[in-house]
Structure 1
């Protein structure tokens, strides 16, 4: 059985290294989404649907249901995968990624979703300035600088395309959440200013999840609370095994 971790925007697979370090199991992989310090397949347009299809393909290659975990956009995408292809998912866990028609996109999303404005923002991206903004969200400054330094032209293009395909993602994808069947765990930062914790409560009702791990941190839970998330995941997976037995 494999644990598969999916990152968000504008992160890379590296956001999961702290969580993975605290796990007892060794059969975990952190996927690199196309364009996020990873090659982009030919003709890939970086829409939300294409990222879901890409994830489904990767899970199909594993050949057995996985323990699927997502943060930020990784949460949104894995929720969609789990609702469309429950046969691929043994357990699901995720957070900081609302799939709700009631959700209002954050400031950066509005910029990236606006043609012309998003391109100008990307062209003028300053590593130090954006790093300090991430630091204000709770990311250690050295890690923030490394993260921002990886935002190359390919990632910039993919971010813009993804967000512009997802203006109405909550209304489009929320209805299928009821079709999720995998045992689920939600983890969320209580002080998340971009995706408020109330959306964890909404998600819990939508997917009938028994638990929410509300953490004393902001948006970047895998960085800020890796040990707590790892412990909760281990317990979640153990209970998933019992339910499958």
Structure 2
């Protein structure tokens, strides 16, 4: 069951498993997801002796949207506010999809708060060209039609079940709140239209310096949105110290499609870091 707290006066829902004095692992979901993306993996992390925390980003899941535009930068501000509200001084950061862009860019200026970073099914490159669906969302007029299309519940259900056949209906319903609540109507458009990859140009060739901490990159073998080659490119060009893993026979939503395999890789990542930096 999710907990609730106020962040800048807005109701934020989040998962919180494990002891408050255990090492913290913070999970950031992407689009069109919620904290439930991480539920099974978070329970694995809890059993391994960590505190697992996963917010519904504002406008996603059950969290209330921002009053202002839901931009990339605004979600970075939310991350700072969220960890401050929980009084978490240092943590491992685990990211997926848009959570990678939000969390990795945030980490570049807050690396002392991190023990490690996990990047899943996304890249962090000024050279990246958005996939077809994202290009539609970013296009005036077409994006509005695309969002209206997914506001149709049967269409959304079919879209998610096609992407993740083993997905429970409860998770589908939680993800759909992004489209069912009229207050969230601009969230998708704001986010994707703020996603100019040239904003990452300042990190080119220097990302390993910004992220001088352990990094693991995880991809699904059959990711049709962001191919694993982008993850390998990220490792080779920017993060040569990162470990790189491909989970066989799964697509873009690795934490949901292969929670056992993902949880095993994550536990391995966390356990190898013990002693890297003092808490």
More helix by share: 1
Correspondence for 2:196: 167
Which fold has the larger relative contact order, with Cα–Cα distance below 8 Å and residues 6 or more apart in sequence? Answer: 1
After TM superposition, the score normalised by the length of structure 1 is: 0.90
CA contact (8 A) 2:149 2:155 kept: no
Correspondence for 1:67: 92
Correspondence for 2:33: 11
Q: CA deviation at 1:173?
A: 6.1
CA contact (8 A) 1:75 1:97 kept: yes
CA contact (8 A) 1:92 1:184 kept: yes
Correspondence for 2:243: 211
Q: Would you say 1:97 and 2:122 are equivalent positions? A: yes
Residue 141 to residue 33, structure 1, CA distance change in 2 (3 Å): closer
Residue 45 to residue 208, structure 1, CA distance change in 2 (3 Å): same
CA contact (8 A) 1:128 1:145 kept: no
Give the distance between the partners of 1:29 and 1:192, measured in 2 at CA. 26
Alignment match of 1:229 (pick from 262, 265, 268): 262
Correspondence for 1:33: 57
Residue 169 to residue 72, structure 1, CA distance change in 2 (3 Å): farther
The alignment partner of 2:115 has SS state of strand
The alignment partner of 1:241 has SS state of coil
Residue 115 to residue 173, structure 1, CA distance change in 2 (3 Å): farther
Q: CA deviation at 1:5?
A: 0.5
Correspondence for 2:271: 238
* Structure 2: tracts of 5 or more residues without a match: 1-22
Correspondence for 1:133: 159
State how 1:145-184 maps to structure 2 within 5 Å: 145-147=172-174, 149-150=176-177, 151-152=179-180, 153-168=182-197, 171-172=200-201, 174-175=203-204, 177-178=207-208, 179-184=210-215
Q: CA deviation at 1:199?
A: 0.9
